[in-house]
Amino acid sequence: MSKMPMWADAILVPLISLFLAALLSALVILGIGENPIEAFQLMVDGALKRSAGWGYTLYYATNYIFTGLAVAVAFHARLFNIGGEGQAMIGGVGVALVCLYIPWPHWSLAIIGASAGAALFGAAWALIPAYLQAKRGSHIVITTIMFNYIAFSVLGYLLVEILRPAGAMDPASANFPEATHLPNFHDMFAPEGSRMFRGAPANVTFFLALAACVFVWLLIWRTRLGYDIRSFGLSETAAKYAGSSPLRITVIAMLISGALAGMMSVNTTLGESERLILNSTEGAGFVGIAVALMGRNHPIGILLAALLFGFLNQGGAELALWTNIPRELIVVIQALVILFTGALDNLVRMPLEALFLNLRKKKETV
C-alpha cells in the first residue's frame, strides 16, 4: 500500500521539514534580539552575491558531499555511520603521508595519490567497527562514536610527537611540497588579472566530489553490489535467504562509507591548509548526517543539501563577522534539520499521509 506519491515523499517531506527548521531558527534569531530577515539577506549577500562567497560555499559543500555520501551509503545498508568525523581525520593522515613522503611531479598525480591515501586510511578506520558489528554484534553507532574520539587522540599524538617539524610550535605537519598544491577556482576560472574567486578555498576537489556522486549513484542503483546493499538494508533475513553474506555486505558498505568520509580530507588537507592540522574536519562528519537525511540518501539530493549547508556555513561566518550572531547559529540550524528530517520525520509524514489518503478516497467515491 503506497500512501503517498513518490514526489511527495522525495520533495514535499524534506521541504516541509526544512521549512519547520527555518521557522524555529528564525524564532531563535528573534529571541536573541536580531532581525531574521536582515540576517538571511546578510547570509545571501555574503555567501552568494560575491564570487569569493561562492568560493567558500562550494568549498564547504565539497566537504559535505563527501561526508553526506558516506552516511548515505551506510544508511542504504541500514548502518548508521556516525564516525565520519574520525574517518575524515584519519583520511587526513593518509593524505599527509602520501604528500610528504612521495615526491609528486605534478598536482594531477598528487591528487590521485592523495585520494587513494585518504580513501584507504578512512576505510581502514571504518573496518574495525564494521567487523565488530557484523561478527560480534557490537552496536556500530557506539563503536564509531568511540572511534571518533580515538581518532582525535591518534591525530593529536601523530601531530605532536611524529609529524611536527623540529622547532615548530603548533601541532601541525610540515607544509606539503609546492608541486602538490591543487589549483583553486581562482587559478582555474578567473580570467587574467581578474579578482574572481580570489582568496577562496574552493578547489579542483569539488569536481572529485561530483564524480563521487556519480560513482555512488552507479554503485547503489546500477551494480549487483548496490542491489545487495539495498536489499540487506531493507531486510537482513531476506538478503541472507537470497544468499548474500551479512558480514560481507556490512564490511563492504562501511569500507566504502569510510573511504568517502576520508576523501573529504583531500579537500581540506591537500586543497586548503596544504599541511595536516588538528581541526580540519570542523564537524563536517556530523553535518554529513544532516545532508544525507535531507537529501534522502540520493546523490542528487545530497548534492543539493550539501550546497544548502555550504551556503549556511559560509552565510553563518558572514553573520558572525557583521552582527552579534555567533557562528553557532549554523549548528542550531543543522541540529533542527536533523531533528525534523530524521527523528521527527513522522511529525510531517503522518499528517501528509492522512491527507493523501483522504484525497484518494474522495476521488474513488466521485
Partner 1 sequence: MDFLTVLQVLDSTVRLAIPLLLACLAGLYSERAGIFDIGLEGKMLAAAFFAGAIAAVSGNVWVGLLAGIGASLALSVVHGVASITFRGNQLISGVAINMLAAGVTVLIAQDWFKQGGRTPSLTEDGRFQPLEWPMAIGPKDAEETGQRLSELITEASIPQQIYSELLSGHSIIVYLAILAVPLSAWVLYGTRFGLRLRAVGENPASVDTAGISVVRLRYTAVLICGVLCGIAGAYLATALQAGFIKDMTAGRGFIALAALIFAKWRPWSALWACLLFGLLQAIAVRFQSIEVGDFVIPVQLMEALPYILTVVILAGFVGRAVPPRAGGEPYVKER
Distances (CA, A) of 20 to 15, 25, 35, 231, 355: 9, 9, 18, 32, 18
- Pick the binder of partner 1 from 104, 125, 147, 232 (CB under 8 A): 147
Q: Does 130 bind partner 1 (CB under 8 A)?
A: no
Query: Shortest Cβ distance from residue 251 to partner 1 (Å)?
Result: 15
* Cα angle for residues 68, 73, 78 (degrees, 5° grid): 115
Q: How far is CA 89 from the centre of its chain?
A: 13
Q: Does 350 bind partner 1 (CB under 8 A)?
A: yes
Query: Shortest Cβ distance from residue 344 to partner 1 (Å)?
Result: 5
Q: Does 141 bind partner 1 (CB under 8 A)?
A: yes
Distances (CA, A) of 86 to 27, 125, 258, 328, 348: 33, 8, 9, 21, 32
Tell me the three cell numbers of residue 359.
484525497
Query: Shortest Cβ distance from residue 55 to partner 1 (Å)?
Result: 25
Which single residue is written with the C-alpha cell 580513501?
119
Q: Does 355 bind partner 1 (CB under 8 A)?
A: no
Nearer to partner 1, 150 or 219 (CB): 150
- Pick the binder of partner 1 from 157, 207, 221, 241 (CB under 8 A): 157
Start-to-end CA span in the chain (Å):
21
Query: Shortest Cβ distance from residue 334 to partner 1 (Å)?
Result: 6
Query: Shortest Cβ distance from residue 154 to partner 1 (Å)?
Result: 7
Per-residue x/- mask for partner 1, residues 71 to 110, rule CB under 8 A? ---------x-x----------------------------
Say how many CA atoms lie within 13 Å of 252 toward its Cβ: 19
Piece of the chain touching partner 1 by CB under 8 A; list 12-20, 24-32, 173-181, 266-274:
24-32
Tell me the three cell numbers of residue 122.
578512512
How many residues bind partner 1 (CB under 8 A)? The answer is 50
Give the other-Cβ count within 10 Å of 141's Cβ.
15
What is the C-alpha to C-alpha distance for residues 64 and 347, in angstroms, rounded to an integer?
26
The residues, ordered by sequence, that sit 6+ positions from 255 with a Cβ below 8 Å of its Cβ are 123, 126, 127, 130
Piece of the chain touching partner 1 by CB under 8 A; list 7-15, 205-213, 230-238, 345-353:
345-353
Determine the number of helices (DSSP H) and then strands (DSSP E) in the chain: 16, 0
Query: Shortest Cβ distance from residue 170 to partner 1 (Å)?
Result: 16
Q: Does 218 bind partner 1 (CB under 8 A)?
A: no
Given a contact cutoff of 8 angstroms between Cβ atoms, the answer to whether 2 and 10 are in contact is: no
Which single residue is written with the C-alpha cell 551479512?
246
Query: Shortest Cβ distance from residue 150 to partner 1 (Å)?
Result: 5
Interacting positions 271-330 with partner 1 (CB under 8 A): 286, 289, 293, 324-326, 328-330
Nearer to partner 1, 21 or 99 (CB): 21
Q: What is the DSSP string of 222-271?
A: HSHHHHHHHHHHH-HHHHHHTT--HHHHHHHHHHHHHHHHHHHHIIIIII
- Pick the binder of partner 1 from 49, 139, 198, 222 (CB under 8 A): 139
Query: Shortest Cβ distance from residue 293 to partner 1 (Å)?
Result: 7
Q: Does 237 bind partner 1 (CB under 8 A)?
A: no
- Pick the binder of partner 1 from 1, 101, 105, 153 (CB under 8 A): 153
- Pick the binder of partner 1 from 30, 238, 300, 343 (CB under 8 A): 343
Give the other-Cβ count within 10 Å of 285's Cβ.
28
Chain residues binding partner 1 by CB under 8 A are 28, 31-33, 80, 82, 128, 132, 136-139, 141-143, 145-147, 149-150, 153-154, 156-157, 160-161, 286, 289, 293, 324-326, 328-336, 338-339, 342-347, 350
